[in-house]
């Protein structure tokens, strides 16, 4: 995909922080991870703090004159979790779209209720996940897709047969197509 001249791309990077799952070793991380099992405790405060940072980036773009309806947020792995949480908790008018790549639904026990109260319930969402992802296992991606499908009418889930915790050409084609449709 060629960069569109009328589109501004902002790619925030997670700060370096110790991660419990990584033996406390520092790594780029939006929040702490205690475990990868669905019943593992979550760093809800860390997710909320990162969501506030993303909401501030959205606000900054609005101050530049970009309407929320032309802002697409997204992320990979932890970044996707933060984007999901932000989309449904940040308030304001509807965003242009949401990309959730190789990720999971944070606060999966409480966020579905918030989705139903959100202006972004009807937002266009593309979730992509590799079937052989050893980090965010495929069944976790499927569980996330089930929550989104049940609550969001403009949701699409794409899965990739030989994709681990990474991206592939087929996924990138799907992402570019989604972006072209979300922000023509």
Instruction: Indicate whether 175 belongs to any domain.
Output: yes
Instruction: Indicate whether 29 belongs to any domain.
Output: no
**Burial class of residue 115 in the structure, from the number of CB atoms within 10 Å of its CB (0-12 exposed, 13-18 middle, 19+ buried):** buried
Instruction: Indicate whether 138 belongs to any domain.
Output: yes
Total structural domains within the chain: 1
pLDDT (tens digit per residue) in 48-63 = 999 999 999 999 999 9
Q: Check if the beta carbon of residue 81 is closer than 8 Å to that of residue 136.
A: no
**pLDDT, position 2:** 62
**pLDDT, position 108:** 78
Q: 139: domain range?
A: 65-182
Tokens at 98, concatenated: 């949401």
Instruction: Indicate whether 108 belongs to any domain.
Output: yes
**pLDDT, position 126:** 98
* 3-class SS shares of the chain: helix, strand, coil, % to 5: 40, 15, 40
pLDDT (tens digit per residue) in 140-177 = 999 999 999 999 999 999 999 999 999 999 999 999 99
Q: pLDDT over 90 for what percent of the chain?
A: 76
Q: Check if the beta carbon of residue 11 is closer than 8 Å to that of residue 25.
A: no
Instruction: Give the single-character DSSP code of 17.
Output: E
Q: pLDDT over 70 for what percent of the chain?
A: 97
Strand ranges inside 52-173, DSSP E:
72-76, 97-101, 125-130, 155-160
Angle 120-11-133 from CA coordinates, rounded to 5°: 80
Instruction: Indicate whether 121 belongs to any domain.
Output: yes
Instruction: Indicate whether 140 belongs to any domain.
Output: yes
pLDDT (tens digit per residue) in 94-118 = 899 999 999 999 987 788 788 878 8
Instruction: Indicate whether 100 belongs to any domain.
Output: yes
Q: Would you please indicate which residues are annotated as catalytic (active-site) residues?
A: 77, 133, 165
CATH code at position 165: 3.40.50.1820
Instruction: Indicate whether 39 belongs to any domain.
Output: no
Q: Which residues lie below 8 Å from residue 182, measured CB to CB, with a gap of 6+?
A: 72, 96, 97, 124
Does residue 1 have a pLDDT over 70?
Answer: no
């Amino acid at each position: 995909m060629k960069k569109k001249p009328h589109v501004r791309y902002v790619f925030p990077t997670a700060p370096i922080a110790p991660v419990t799952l990584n033996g406390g070793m520092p790594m780029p991380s939006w929040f702490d991870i205690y475990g990868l099992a669905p019943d593992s405790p979550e760093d809800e405060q860390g997710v909320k703090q990162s969501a506030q940072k993303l909401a501030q980036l959205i606000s900054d773009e609005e101050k530049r004159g970009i309407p929320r309806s032309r802002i697409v947020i997204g992320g990979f792995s932890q970044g996707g979790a933060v984007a999901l949480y932000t989309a449904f908790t940040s308030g304001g008018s509807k965003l242009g779209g949401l990309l959730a790549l190789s990720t999971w639904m944070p606060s999966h026990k409480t966020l579905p209720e918030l989705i139903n109260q959100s202006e972004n319930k009807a937002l266009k969402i593309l979730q992509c996940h590799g079937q052989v992802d050893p980090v965010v296992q495929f069944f976790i991606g499927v569980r996330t897709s089930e929550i989104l499908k049940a609550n969001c009418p403009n949701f699409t889930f794409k899965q990739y047969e030989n994709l681990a915790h990474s991206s592939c050409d087929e996924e990138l084609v799907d992402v570019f197509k989604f972006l072209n449709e979300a922000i023509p």
